Amino acid sequence: GATVHSESGSSSEEVSPVKVKNNTIDKDKYANPLPHVLMLTAIVVGVSTLGLALAISQKIFKSFGTLEEDEILNKLRPGSHD
């Protein structure tokens, strides 16, 4: 287990704010940070992917004047007219 170091609180009694047995904390009774870390990672990856997709969309729009797939394919075909 983890060793507990407690600071003085507002109470005049010397009681740790976390109840411990033999100066160790039962890690199973406290929050697991892994789900929070995974969610934060998912949010960061999602925002990054969205930013990349928007940047690519802007470049496509500047090049072709549209984001419609059919219109872009028509402009890419040999012999097509604008």
Q: What does pTM read for this prediction?
A: 0.56
Q: CB neighbours (10 Å) of residue 25? A: 16
How is the chain split into domains, by residue range?
2-76
Q: Is the pLDDT of residue 80 over 80?
A: no
Q: What's the confidence (pLDDT) of residue 10? A: 56
pLDDT in tens, 1-32: 455 555 545 555 565 566 666 777 767 777 78
pLDDT in tens, 35-45: 999 999 999 99
pLDDT, mean of residues 65-70 = 96
Going through 1-82 in order, the beta strands assigned E by DSSP cover 2-3, 24-25
